[in-house]
Amino acid sequence: MIQFIDVSKYYDNGTAALKDVNLTIENGEFVFLVGSSGAGKTTLTKLLMREENVTKGQILLNDEDITSLEHREIPYLRRKMGVVFQDFRLLDDRTVYENVEFAMKIVGASARDIRRRVPVVLNQVGLNYKAKLFPRQLSGGEQQRVALARALVNNPSILIADEPTGNLNPKTAMEIMEIFESINRRGTTVIMATHAKDIVDMMKKRVVEIEDGEIVRDEVGGVYHA
């Protein structure tokens, strides 16, 4: 369970990115974060990953206060999370297999575990037959599948996605969302910041709307606009 308790985030210039946010996300939920650019969606996910720290309040992950973690403990927190970005962030000089393998190497996985696990996640995203290709040889949708495989390879309990379909055409975007839904059905918590109205409206998941740093709507089975 994820709990934001009276969380505020102020930057040095006085900008209030989040103001007294209270939010609970149960294990295994699928939550869309919606709202205009600059509303606070990305700040919320950065606080959860401890890329930023709160100005006030607490964030609990399974009853552990992650806002009080020491710097050396943060990498262990992030091992519980997979992250997918709009711009893929793949390593251009490495193959599909090597991009996914890299995520396991940086957490110290054994060569045996890597050989076993990487083909499994590549198959999960439908790319096992392109393991030896480089990112430049892939379509945008295929590159996002690699990024998704990389986020999943260490079996995270939470998957955070920031505009994962923003650079994709509608058909490819829906294919990517089908993978996200499949991952969620296996029990992974999915938190997705998006402007994709058509996807949010079709999938009928929980919708949390943020405006000017405040949660203005929290609706199960919701749509993009109330």
Amino acid letter, residue 2: I
pLDDT of residue 165: 87
Q: How many residues does the chain have?
A: 226
pLDDT tens, residue by residue, 153-191 = 999 999 999 988 888 888 888 989 999 999 999 999 999
Contact 192, 180 (CB under 8 A): yes
Sequence-separated contacts (24+) of 198-204 with Cβ below 8 Å: 198/170, 199/165, 199/173, 199/174, 200/32, 200/34, 200/224, 203/30, 203/32, 203/177
CA distances from 203 to 51, 58, 129, 194 (A): 29, 30, 29, 13
Give the residue from 33, 25, 11 showing the smallest Cα distance to 214.
Answer: 33
Per-residue confidence band for 12, with pLDDT thresholds at 50, 70 and 90: confident
Give the pairing type, strands 206-211 and 214-219. Answer: antiparallel
Spatial distance between the Cα atoms of 42 and 219, rounded to a whole number of angstroms: 19
Contact 19, 27 (CB under 8 A): no
The yes-or-no verdict on residue 34 having pLDDT over 70 is yes
User: Per-residue pLDDT averaged across 201-208, rounded?
Assistant: 95
Spatial distance between the Cα atoms of 68 and 77, rounded to a whole number of angstroms: 12
pLDDT of residue 117: 95
Spatial distance between the Cα atoms of 109 and 171, rounded to a whole number of angstroms: 35
Which SS3 state, helix, strand or coil, does residue 47 take? helix
